[in-house]
Amino acid sequence: MVLKQTMAMLVDAYRELNAKKMFWITLVLSALVVIAIACVGINDKGITVLWWTFPVDVFNATIVSPAFFYKLIFINFGFKVWLTWAATILALVSTASLIPDFVAGGSIDLVLSKPIGRLRLFLTKYATGLLFVALQVSVFAAASFLVIGIRGGAWEPRIFLAIPLVVLFFSFLYCVCALIGLRTRSTIAALLLTLLFWLLVFIVHASEQSVLLFKLNAEDRVASIETKAGPLADSVAKQRAAIQKLSDVPADETPEARLERESQLVTAQASLSGLELRQQTSTSSLKEYQSSERFLGRLYAGIFALKTVLPKTSETMGILENSLTSLDEVAKLRKAEEERREERRAQRRGSDARPPNRTGDSERDSGEFSSAVAERQQEIIRSRSIWWILGTSLAFEAVVLAVACTIFARRDF
């Protein structure tokens, strides 16, 4: 009986999707995206589109392999842009009406009067809502697998990880959509409030990443200033000792020697003043950055706590990226980009006729974060376990579904 009812609901969901124009429009668009990606290639000079070549320093076959290039395109454009943004919005538009239509008067009576428990009925209906994305992403993943295999020369079965990951990603939003649709019985309300919720998740995610970067930068600067504080203090002490020594007047000092000593004393005192000024500035900066570090630490803790209870949409898709691209390949690409950036900086400095300064401090003083800080941020983000990312997100989904199930089980229709 259970299997019959579940199968009937799945078949019905398929028929419903099949009847929706949006399902086929999304599928056609997905096919176009895959075809567009297949038209792009890479050779020793740069990127190729059909028979045209566009020279690119960073992206060419001497730096990245065609397989890695295709993986990057599929991850960054196919999955991150198309599946997680455009196709997800289309999927939400298509599926937002499922629950409001399901609980509409005259419709819900028919299914509630069947020998099926309310909890199972709601959860099965919810699962059928995920069918839209599951079908779309399955077709897309299969097409991607073929394109990476044929064009990139790498048969990458891990591409099919996209199916569970994208379905999970969508389910984090769809559970909110289902709850709102059930509560309000309005498709428009369900769609708009879900999109707002998604925006909130995105803002929290972006804030967490930015605050983490600022926090790491503050920590880096504090460490840097503290590292330099010791030698500076030693220099000041040495200088003071030298001045003390120069201040001592020898008993048999000749006028020439006195003149020489006084000249050295003046120079030493000037040097000491400079050193003391640097020490003072350094202490002041240290206090400032320590204060900033404490504030950013607290802010980050708050944002991170909020992020922990919310679903991790970006990180969920990041799992796919992490599984498909190795750190070595990413590092190689990043190194090439870094070299290219250095060249550009050198060219800019040459044209500004300014003396070259390759120290990290000057780079940071100009408002940029050091590459070490950026790398540290990426390390922290990549070090988050799959269990934390998916576990906390699934916990959020479970709570939202529990609320929805309670409403559905108790409501009079």
Partner 1 sequence: MTDLAIDLRGIDKVYGSMFSRRVHALRGIDMRVGRGEIFGLLGPNGAGKSTLVKILMTVIKPTRATGTVLGRGVGHKPTLGRVGYLPEHHRFPDYLTGRQVVEFYGAMGGVDRRDRKKRGAELLDFVGMSKWADTRVRGYSKGMRQRVGIAQTLVNNPDLVIWDEPTDGVDPVGRRDIREMTVELKRRGTTVMLNSHLLSELEMVCDRVAILVQGRVSSQGSVAELTVDRQRYEIEVLAEDSNVDTAIRGALAKWLTPGSLTGTLATGESLHVQLDGAHAPALLKVNSAEASVVQPLIDALRFARLTVRAVKPIRPSLEDLFMEAVTDPTTGRALAPGAKEGH
Nearer to partner 1, 16 or 397 (CB): 16
Q: Is 413 in the site for partner 1 (CB under 8 A)?
A: yes
Q: Which position among 227, 251, 356, 410 is part of the footprint of partner 1 (CB under 8 A)? A: 410
What distance in Å separates the CA atoms of residue 160 and residue 165, rounded to the nearest whole number?
9
CB of 12 to partner 1, least distance (A): 6
Q: Which position among 62, 107, 283, 357 is part of the footprint of partner 1 (CB under 8 A)? A: 107
* Three-class secondary structure of residue 42 per DSSP: strand
Mask: binding to partner 1, 372-401, rule CB under 8 A, as x and -? ------------------------------
Q: Is 21 in the site for partner 1 (CB under 8 A)?
A: no
Nearer to partner 1, 118 or 278 (CB): 118
CB of 103 to partner 1, least distance (A): 11
Q: Which position among 12, 260, 262, 339 is part of the footprint of partner 1 (CB under 8 A)? A: 12
What distance in Å separates the CA atoms of residue 149 and residue 155, rounded to the nearest whole number?
4
* Three-class secondary structure of residue 54 per DSSP: strand
Q: Is 123 in the site for partner 1 (CB under 8 A)?
A: no
What distance in Å separates the CA atoms of residue 154 and residue 345, rounded to the nearest whole number?
36
Please give the structure tokens belonging to residue 215: 């926090």
Q: Which position among 117, 153, 274, 350 is part of the footprint of partner 1 (CB under 8 A)? A: 117
Nearer to partner 1, 328 or 412 (CB): 412
Q: Is 354 in the site for partner 1 (CB under 8 A)?
A: no
Least Cα distance to 88 among 128, 124, 49, 130 occurs for: 130
CB 8 within 8 A of CB 120: no
Q: Is 110 in the site for partner 1 (CB under 8 A)?
A: yes
Q: Is 306 in the site for partner 1 (CB under 8 A)?
A: no
Alpha carbon 87 to its chain centroid, in Å, reads 19
Instruction: Name the one range near partner 1 by CB under 8 A: 41-49, 98-106, 167-175, 223-231.
Output: 98-106
Percentage helix, strand, coil for the chain under 3-state DSSP, each rounded to 5: 80, 5, 15
- Burial bucket for residue 255 (CB in 10 Å: 0-12, 13-18, 19+): exposed
Distances (CA, A) of 264 to 76, 94, 233, 237: 64, 83, 21, 17
Q: Which position among 248, 256, 328, 412 is part of the footprint of partner 1 (CB under 8 A)? A: 412
CB of 125 to partner 1, least distance (A): 12
Nearer to partner 1, 5 or 323 (CB): 5
Q: What does the CA dihedral 115, 117, 120, 126 come to, rounded to 10 degrees?
A: 90
CB 81 within 8 A of CB 140: no
Q: Is 108 in the site for partner 1 (CB under 8 A)?
A: yes
Q: What does the CA dihedral 144, 150, 154, 160 come to, rounded to 10 degrees?
A: 20
Q: Is 119 in the site for partner 1 (CB under 8 A)?
A: no
* Three-class secondary structure of residue 46 per DSSP: strand
What distance in Å separates the CA atoms of residue 264 and residue 253, rounded to the nearest whole number?
15
Q: Is 350 in the site for partner 1 (CB under 8 A)?
A: no
Q: Is 5 in the site for partner 1 (CB under 8 A)?
A: yes
Nearer to partner 1, 109 or 361 (CB): 109
Nearer to partner 1, 20 or 349 (CB): 20
Q: Is 15 in the site for partner 1 (CB under 8 A)?
A: yes
CB 64 within 8 A of CB 72: yes
Binding site for partner 1 (CB under 8 A): 1, 4-5, 7-9, 11-12, 15-16, 18-19, 104-117, 410, 412-413
